[in-house]
Amino acid sequence: MKTLSKLILAVLCLLPVGHGLRAAENPKPFVVPEIRQWSGGKGRFVPGPDARIVCSPDQPEALRIARLFAADYAEMFGRALPVALGKASPGDFVLALSPDKALGTEGYSVRTTDRAALSAPTPAGLYWGTRTLLQISEQDSARSLPKGTIRDWPDYPFRGFMIDCGRKFIPMDYLEDLTRIMAYYKLNVLQVHLNDNGFKQYFGHDWNKTYAAFRLESDTFPGLTARDGSYSKKEFADFQRQAADRFVEIIPEIDIPAHSLAFTHYKPEIGSKEYGMDHLDLFNPETYRFADALFREYLEGDDPVFVGPRVHIGTDEYSNAKKEVVEKFRAFTDHYIRLVESYGKQAVVWGALTHASGRTPVKAENVVMNAWYNGYADPAAMIEQGYRLVSIPDGLVYIVPMAGYYHDYLNETYLYEQWTPPHIGKAVFEERHPAILGGMFAVWNDHVGNGISVKDIHHRIFPPLQTLSAKMWTG
């Protein structure tokens, strides 16, 4: 042992003066989703005793994000960092909007020296960068950051989750918390499924007794809104704005013409006598008058209830038993795509147009399609027709609590190791395919009244939320 020590000392003595032992470069920080590029420096940045969050006075959006960062920092770590305008000092955080085409629309960079300088070409990128700073700070009691340079950006612009609020009421305070959690992991889309119904075999095979609910306040159709839990128009609009402030888009979904028992309970004459009362009657003009008026209630005016850029019109799992029904379904789908677009929104649909293959044209340009089951919508065919796809393959990413089918809990190991958004069922496309916007996972509350609580739902969705945020960011 003494001989080895002497040998090491002798080698060190032979090194040129000033060479010394170099301090190790900092390893890449652990962040969810994973940082794309890291160049490690030496040592750590520790926020100074007078640390501030500094931004330029001519960048109001950077100032807004700095205040969000300060509020989250205080909530998480119990330390209030003042937000200041002007010149930064050592020990400060610095936020700036700065052009950098290589980072795209959501990328950001962080350079940590004697200060932590975050920059991004867009407000969204700047906000995602603050999530990275919070996650790294969370891992050290001194809230220090490793010195070095981060460059990070997503492969997919659409990174989301869908929650079924139709079969089970999800309180608004949970939805608000959920969007903050999603934002922490850079997920940016929450699809809110506003209406649905149970299965009649669990309700004595009687449609009149089968549970159904529509969760949004309606003045056009008083009495339509569910009595066991709903959202006022004002609180739902406020919710969308609050989420958008954190760069999470809420996509409201009114699911028609199937999954529509809540509407036929209210207005039985628009229900299909042939295919079941959870199907709207596509041959009844009153169906269109009702559905047109319902969508318009939330789309029209200078301050519409549906605030964001996209609205989901449903269109899944309608009967294709007869050719004339298929053609009518296709015309129905096209009608509501165009209705939504007439109010300046982008329409989103469930993939159904292989199941409902026919001659009647359905608008594809600028339409987003949830690709959930390839038998209902063959993804290659849908891309060829011009649809932009969101990958949400049912066999991999559907959670149905305590149902005995799909997944009670997702197989996160498999998803982390094997899945990326271009894997849609058995169809596999190249990474970053221009027609595949990104991916989602979903929770469906199929079994009404099965004792599953909101806490139970959260227990099922939080771990895959972290896992899939990584897969949707970098594939």
CATH number where 332 lies: 3.20.20.80
Half-sphere exposure of 8 (CA within 13 A, CB side): 6
Question: Which amino acid type is present at position 21?
Answer: L
Q: Which H or E run includes 336?
A: helix 323-341
* 9 belongs to a structural domain: no
Strand extents, DSSP E, 305-443: 310-314, 346-350, 368-371, 388-391, 398-399, 423-424, 427-428, 436-443
Residue where a domain stops, chosen among 107, 126, 152 = 152
Question: Which amino acid type is present at position 379?
Answer: P
Number of domains observed in the structure of the chain: 2
Q: List beta partners, residue 94.
A: 54, 117
Statement to judge: residues 357 and 415 lie in one domain: yes
Q: List beta partners, residue 84.
A: 54
Q: Is the dihedral of CA 138, 140, 143, 147 positive or negative?
A: negative
Instruction: Name the burial class of residue 406, with classes exposed (0-12), middle (13-18) and buried (19+) by CB atoms within 10 angstroms of its CB.
Output: middle
Return the pLDDT at 326.
Answer: 98
Statement to judge: residues 180 and 291 lie in one domain: yes
Greatest CA separation for the chain: 96
Write the pLDDT tens digit of every residue in 396-406.
999 999 999 99
Write the pLDDT tens digit of every residue in 112-169.
999 999 999 999 999 999 999 999 999 999 999 999 999 999 999 999 999 999 999 9
To the nearest whole percent, how much of the chain has pLDDT over 70? 95
* 369 belongs to a structural domain: yes
- Beta-carbon contacts of residue 35 (< 8 Å; ≥ 6 apart): 28, 29, 132, 150, 152
* 5 belongs to a structural domain: no
- Beta-carbon contacts of residue 141 (< 8 Å; ≥ 6 apart): none
Return the pLDDT at 23.
Answer: 65
Residue where a domain stops, chosen among 108, 128, 152 = 152
Statement to judge: residues 285 and 164 lie in one domain: yes
CA angle at residue 363 from 360 to 367, to 5 degrees? 145
* 8 belongs to a structural domain: no
Statement to judge: residues 466 and 349 lie in one domain: yes
* 382 belongs to a structural domain: yes
Statement to judge: residues 135 and 276 lie in one domain: no
The answer to whether 396 and 372 have CB atoms below 8 angstroms apart is no
Statement to judge: residues 120 and 198 lie in one domain: no
In the chain, which stretches have pLDDT less than 70?
Answer: 1-23
Statement to judge: residues 412 and 276 lie in one domain: yes
Residue where a domain stops, chosen among 133, 152, 171 = 152
Statement to judge: residues 131 and 260 lie in one domain: no
Statement to judge: residues 424 and 448 lie in one domain: yes
Statement to judge: residues 244 and 120 lie in one domain: no
* 468 belongs to a structural domain: yes
CA distances in angstroms from 348 to 255, 309, 351, 438, listed in the order given: 11, 10, 9, 14
- Residue 129 CA, distance from chain mean position: 17
What is the SS3 assignment for 367?
coil
Range 318-354 burial, b when 16+ CB lie within 10 A, else e: bbbeeeebbebbbebbbbbbebbeeeebbbbbbbbbb
Write the pLDDT tens digit of every residue in 31-47.
999 999 999 999 999 99
* 126 belongs to a structural domain: yes
Which CATH number fits the domain that encloses residue 143?
Answer: 3.30.379.10
Write the pLDDT tens digit of every residue in 168-210.
999 999 999 999 999 999 999 999 999 999 999 999 999 999 9
DSSP summary character for residue 301: S
Q: Which residues constitute the domain of residue 65? A: 18-152
Neighbours of 206 (CB within 10 A): 9
Tell me the two tokens of residue 268: 């039985």
* 165 belongs to a structural domain: yes
The answer to whether 280 and 272 have CB atoms below 8 angstroms apart is yes
Statement to judge: residues 124 and 168 lie in one domain: no
Q: How far apart are CA 11 and CA 25, in angstroms?
A: 23
CA angle at residue 460 from 457 to 466, to 5 degrees? 120
What is the SS3 assignment for 473?
helix
CA distances in angstroms from 62 to 58, 123, 179, 183, 348, listed in the order given: 9, 7, 21, 17, 31
The answer to whether 44 and 147 have CB atoms below 8 angstroms apart is yes
Question: Which amino acid type is present at position 42?
Answer: K
Statement to judge: residues 299 and 421 lie in one domain: yes
